[in-house]
Structure 1
Amino acid sequence: MVDVVEQQSTSSVPRWAAIVAITLGVLLAAGVVTVGLVGRHVHGERQQTAEAAEQARRHGPLALPPVPAPQAQSSDCAAVLAALPRELPVDGAELPRRELAQPAPPGAVAWGDAQHDPVSLRCGIDAPAELTRTSHLTNVSGVDWFSINEGDLTTWLAVDRPVYVALTVPQEAGTGPVQTLSRVLGRTLPKQEVFP
């Protein structure tokens, strides 16, 4: 009689452990694919939201949030608004006036088109808390401006006239809007001390 000796390998992995390892690998791969698809979907939604916001900024009536503007209906602001150009030079283009969404804040005007983010003007606003006697001012064509940078926007505040006039422009707009408004203010409102 021949004895048959079964050889057992001491290095073999139990069958159940191999099944668990393979199953976990498949689940992990499925999870990675799912996360990738969800991430792509979320990125796509964010991109669509950003594109919709850009379309809203560049088309149709422009919504400007209200800000305190106690002198917006003053004769000084009326003179400034009447003297503003129909088109504003921005980065080599002439931007037409934009319709404002109702209710439009008093003393406000905007320019823009489908290729450019809007430029807005507000007349008769309060002085910002950031404006102090030690603030750096920039003189453009005889008008003293105080600038406030917020993200991709810069607000230029004319501080040496009887009313404060704010011009908010996108960073890429260049200096055309500030130069144009400086000429308008120079012709329309008398110069005065920044801090009388």
Structure 2
Amino acid sequence: PPLTGVIRSVVLILTLLGTWFLMQTYFDHRWKVINPRSWLAKQPPRHKCGNQRSCPQNYFAFKITSGAANVVGPSICFEDKIIMSSVKNNIGRGLNIMLVNGTNGKLLKTGIFDMYSGDINKLDAFLQEIKVGTIVLVASYDDPATKMNAKVQAHFERLGSSHVRKLGFRDNWVFLGAKGMKNKSPFEEHIKNDRKTNKYDGWPEMLEMEGCTPRKMD
């Protein structure tokens, strides 16, 4: 009957009005709560290289990540710029090394040295040419040590390494040192390849190290 249709229409209109009123009240309240300005203000600040904290003046921010097994490559970030990574296609198996001017932070050179092959002589020459005041960042990938010899180990020790002589087959290693250091570097991590503790089949877990290095390390 026509009357039934009118009643239905009135009920529908009232329902719609009630829903509109509830939505207006709710979303007006929610909008005040999640106002973008207040939300953004509460976000923690982003630090260089995505690190946990910012660095003081006259310090450089860095993050070094080793490779994961022989699948995921390493990366090196310096002063919020990713210098070496799989995305940039400038990393490789063995030791991935970056040289930075210790005064102004400018990139000097990068190098990839395969420790399975005969790159040990190239690595020796590369390390010999490093000038005093240069910051050296190293990330291993797959294997850092198969062809390692005492001469190259001595180079790394002069850069501040405490672990280079302990490196073995498929260990993971990240390191930051400098030419001309008087003391051992505080920036070094090493994990052994051990079947009992390996995260991957035949390789230990990935290493990640971040921090702030002074412009002139000593």
TM-score normalised per structure 1: 0.29
Q: Going by fraction, where is helix more abundant, 1 or 2?
A: 1
User: Greater CA radius of gyration, 1 or 2?
Assistant: 1
TM-score (norm 2): 0.27
